[in-house]
Amino acid sequence: MTRKRHHPPLKCRHCAQKAVINMRQHKLALCSTHFVEWVHKQTERFIGKYKMFTRDERVLVAVSGGKDSLALWDILLALGYQADGLYIGLGIVGCADYDHLDYSGESHQFVQDFVDYHAAQGRDLTLHVVDVAETYGASIPVAAQVTNRGREKPCSLCGLSKRHIMNRVARDHGYDVLATGHNLDDEAAVLFGNTMQWAVEYLARQGPVLPPSHPGLARKVKPLFRFYEREMAAYAIVRGIAYIYEECPYASGATTTRYKELLNEMEIGSPGVKTQFYLRFLQARENYGLFATARETLMLNTCPTCGQPTTLDGVCSFCQTWARINTRLAKCSPAD
Ligand code: SF4
Ligand SMILES: [Zn+2]
Ligand SMILES: [Zn+2]
């Protein structure tokens, strides 16, 4: 019979309190107070090191109701940045585990709860809300059904629409910076996918800071790109931030999810391997000019309809796609 080994509870590196998290890749265990302090200090360091933004600039945080984006908004507010929120209502119903959940409605509620919590503390936050169905004529799942007749997941239309809306709101309200809650696991998985495909145009642009490609557009930044997903989950719990646990129903089975699992398996044997994979890519690109030609040859034009950048010679894919969706919807709706 094997005897069970009992490990004493891990202590925080800075005090005698019990640790709430052990970050093997940093050989660092911390209690809740020191963990929150560490997350704030690290974020501040990355914002400065990668020249993301300053306290004079206005930041628009894209909040989905998930842990990462709400944690990001919380951190930026705690650090004293001018951070407002943007919630995009996609009109998605169901989730990976049950089909009766109002995924978008619940997500919006978590964002609203965050805003209400701050209001109760005497701090009025600004939250911009764009409902896709109200603004453009159909929810993302309905629009996807109309364009591709349900053959594919709505993710490409969803991504295209979210990018357009984020750029538009940032431009219309004069934000300097658009911040998203992507963490290291997200970034490493996307890099893995881009490398598997040798998607040179994406490899040329993927990074924690994307300068504006057009006048009037905001700089795009990912201040949480050095944190692991589990660290952000721990941060949200420790800070008492309620967030939606369920995943979008269309996220299940996505290749990015499989790459995340693969990278996590490697991480078990070699703590820090995910960070190295991503950071060394950034260093190699910078130091050896990798993919520089792809970056220079990317020609961007201006869409005559919406004024946003496009690789197309004329109306951008967002405007073309939504015009097509509305034409088809008009044909199916009963005449008045
Ligand atoms: S999984 Fe697809 S449909 Fe769901 S939010 Fe993400 S991109 Fe949109
Ligand atoms: Zn401590
Ligand atoms: Zn356009």
Atom from ligand 1 closest to the CA of residue 155 = 2
Check pocket membership of 154 for ligand 1, CB cut-off 6 A: yes
Whole-number Å distance between alpha carbons of 153 and 16: 50
Count the Cβ atoms, other than its own, within 10 Å of residue 195: 14
pLDDT at 208: 97
CA of 18 to the centre of ligand 2 (A): 8
Q: Which ligand has the shortest distance to the CA of 91?
A: 1
Count the Cβ atoms, other than its own, within 10 Å of residue 158: 20
Contact between 176 and 59 (Cβ < 8 Å): yes
DSSP letter string, 220-268: EE-TTTTS-HHHHHHHHHHTT-----SPPGGGTT-HHHHHHHHHHHHHH
Q: Which ligand has the shortest distance to the CA of 249?
A: 1
Mutate which of 87, 90, 155, 246 to test ligand 1's pocket (most atoms within 8 Å of Cβ)? Answer: 155
Atom from ligand 1 closest to the CA of residue 141 = 3
**Residue 111 is which amino acid?**
V
Whose Cα sits closest to atom 7 in ligand 1? 155
CA of 153 to the centre of ligand 3 (A): 22
Per-residue pLDDT of the chain (336 residues; tens, 9 = 90+): 556 666 778 999 999 899 999 999 999 999 999 999 999 999 999 999 999 999 999 999 999 999 999 999 999 999 999 999 999 999 998 766 666 789 999 999 999 999 999 999 999 999 999 999 999 999 999 999 988 766 678 999 999 999 999 999 999 999 999 999 999 999 999 999 999 999 998 999 999 999 998 888 899 999 999 999 999 999 999 999 999 998 898 887 778 889 999 999 999 999 999 999 999 999 999 999 888 887 776 678 999 999 998 989 999 999 999 999 999 998 876 554
pLDDT at 300: 82
Write down all domains in the chain, each with its CATH number in brackets: 51-288 (3.40.50.620), 299-331 (no CATH)
pLDDT at 2: 53
